[in-house]
Amino acid sequence: DVKVTQSSRYLVKRTGEKVFLECVQDMDHENMFWYRQDPGLGLRLIYFSYDVKMKEKGDIPEGYSVSREKKERFSLILESASTNQTSMYLCASSSQRESDTQYFGPGTRLTVL
Protein backbone atom coordinates (compact mmCIF):
# COMPACT_ATOMS: atom_id res chain seq x y z
CA ASP A 1 0.00 0.00 0.00
CA VAL A 2 1.10 3.52 -0.77
CA LYS A 3 1.80 5.51 2.29
CA VAL A 4 2.02 9.28 2.36
CA THR A 5 2.80 10.82 5.70
CA GLN A 6 2.78 14.40 6.86
CA SER A 7 4.89 15.60 9.75
CA SER A 8 2.07 17.06 11.83
CA ARG A 9 -1.69 16.61 12.04
CA TYR A 10 -2.19 19.90 13.84
CA LEU A 11 0.06 22.94 13.98
CA VAL A 12 -0.37 26.35 15.60
CA LYS A 13 1.98 29.15 14.62
CA ARG A 14 2.17 32.89 15.06
CA THR A 15 2.03 35.52 12.35
CA GLY A 16 5.47 36.09 10.85
CA GLU A 17 6.88 32.71 11.82
CA LYS A 18 8.57 30.51 9.23
CA VAL A 19 6.67 27.25 8.92
CA PHE A 20 7.82 23.96 7.45
CA LEU A 21 5.34 21.26 6.44
CA GLU A 22 6.96 17.97 5.56
CA CYS A 23 5.60 15.21 3.38
CA VAL A 24 7.13 11.80 2.80
CA GLN A 25 5.98 9.02 0.48
CA ASP A 26 7.32 5.49 0.46
CA MET A 27 6.36 4.32 -3.03
CA ASP A 28 9.16 5.87 -5.08
CA HIS A 29 6.68 8.21 -6.76
CA GLU A 30 8.05 10.82 -9.10
CA ASN A 31 5.23 13.36 -8.71
CA MET A 32 4.38 15.16 -5.49
CA PHE A 33 1.82 17.87 -4.80
CA TRP A 34 0.82 20.35 -2.11
CA TYR A 35 -2.79 21.52 -1.85
CA ARG A 36 -4.67 23.65 0.58
CA GLN A 37 -8.31 22.97 1.35
CA ASP A 38 -10.71 25.64 2.53
CA PRO A 39 -14.48 25.45 3.04
CA GLY A 40 -16.36 26.26 -0.13
CA LEU A 41 -13.19 26.43 -2.21
CA GLY A 42 -12.27 22.77 -2.50
CA LEU A 43 -8.66 21.78 -3.04
CA ARG A 44 -6.34 24.30 -4.61
CA LEU A 45 -2.92 23.37 -5.90
CA ILE A 46 -0.06 25.35 -4.39
CA TYR A 47 3.03 23.70 -5.89
CA PHE A 48 3.96 20.42 -7.47
CA SER A 49 7.13 18.59 -8.38
CA TYR A 50 7.75 15.86 -10.92
CA ASP A 51 11.35 15.13 -10.07
CA VAL A 52 14.00 15.78 -7.50
CA LYS A 53 14.96 19.46 -7.37
CA MET A 54 12.15 20.30 -9.81
CA LYS A 55 9.20 22.44 -8.81
CA GLU A 56 6.31 24.06 -10.59
CA LYS A 57 3.83 26.66 -9.39
CA GLY A 58 0.25 25.64 -9.04
CA ASP A 59 -2.77 27.91 -8.85
CA ILE A 60 -1.94 29.72 -5.61
CA PRO A 61 1.84 29.77 -5.00
CA GLU A 62 2.01 33.25 -3.46
CA GLY A 63 3.38 33.20 0.07
CA TYR A 64 4.71 29.66 -0.28
CA SER A 65 7.85 27.92 -1.46
CA VAL A 66 8.80 24.26 -1.72
CA SER A 67 11.84 22.05 -1.57
CA ARG A 68 12.42 18.62 -3.08
CA GLU A 69 15.95 17.55 -2.25
CA LYS A 70 15.10 13.85 -2.10
CA LYS A 71 12.63 11.89 -4.17
CA GLU A 72 10.55 10.76 -1.21
CA ARG A 73 10.29 14.13 0.51
CA PHE A 74 8.46 17.30 -0.52
CA SER A 75 8.47 20.23 1.86
CA LEU A 76 6.13 23.22 1.87
CA ILE A 77 7.52 26.40 3.38
CA LEU A 78 5.61 29.42 4.57
CA GLU A 79 8.32 32.07 4.69
CA SER A 80 6.32 34.42 6.92
CA ALA A 81 3.04 32.92 8.04
CA SER A 82 -0.07 35.05 7.86
CA THR A 83 -3.55 34.50 9.25
CA ASN A 84 -4.98 33.93 5.77
CA GLN A 85 -2.78 30.85 5.51
CA THR A 86 -4.79 29.14 8.21
CA SER A 87 -6.03 26.07 6.36
CA MET A 88 -5.87 22.32 5.90
CA TYR A 89 -2.77 21.38 3.90
CA LEU A 90 -2.80 18.14 1.94
CA CYS A 91 0.17 16.45 0.34
CA ALA A 92 -0.22 13.92 -2.46
CA SER A 93 1.98 11.80 -4.68
CA SER A 94 1.61 9.87 -7.92
CA SER A 95 3.79 7.77 -10.16
CA GLN A 96 4.70 8.63 -13.73
CA ARG A 97 3.49 5.21 -14.79
CA GLU A 98 0.09 5.54 -13.13
CA SER A 99 0.00 9.30 -13.03
CA ASP A 100 -3.77 9.60 -13.07
CA THR A 101 -4.25 8.55 -9.46
CA GLN A 102 -2.97 10.62 -6.57
CA TYR A 103 -2.40 9.26 -3.08
CA PHE A 104 -2.96 11.66 -0.24
CA GLY A 105 -1.51 12.12 3.20
CA PRO A 106 -3.77 12.64 6.23
CA GLY A 107 -3.42 16.42 6.11
CA THR A 108 -2.03 19.09 8.41
CA ARG A 109 -4.44 21.57 9.93
CA LEU A 110 -2.45 24.77 10.33
CA THR A 111 -3.69 27.65 12.45
CA VAL A 112 -1.86 30.96 12.24
CA LEU A 113 -2.62 33.31 15.14
Partner 1 sequence: SQQGEEDPQALSIQEGENATMNCSYKTSINNLQWYRQNSGRGLVHLILIRSNEREKHSGRLRVTLDTSKKSSSLLITASRAADTASYFCATDAKQTGANNLFFGTGTRLTVIP
- Footprint of partner 1 (CB under 8 A): 4, 30-31, 33, 35, 40-43, 45, 48-51, 54, 56, 58, 88, 90, 92, 94, 99-107, 109
Q: How far is the CB of 16 from partner 1 (least distance, A)?
A: 27
Closest CA to 25 of 72, 67, 71: 72
For residue 98, give Cα distances in angstroms to 30, 54, 95, 108. Answer: 10, 19, 5, 26
Give the contacts of 13 (CB within 8 A, at least 6 positions apart).
19, 78, 81, 110, 111, 112, 113
Q: How far is the CB of 18 from partner 1 (least distance, A)?
A: 25
Q: How far is the CB of 66 from partner 1 (least distance, A)?
A: 13
- Pick between residue 16 and residue 106 the one whose CB is nearest to partner 1: 106
- Pick between residue 73 and residue 109 the one whose CB is nearest to partner 1: 109
How many residues appear in the chain?
Answer: 113
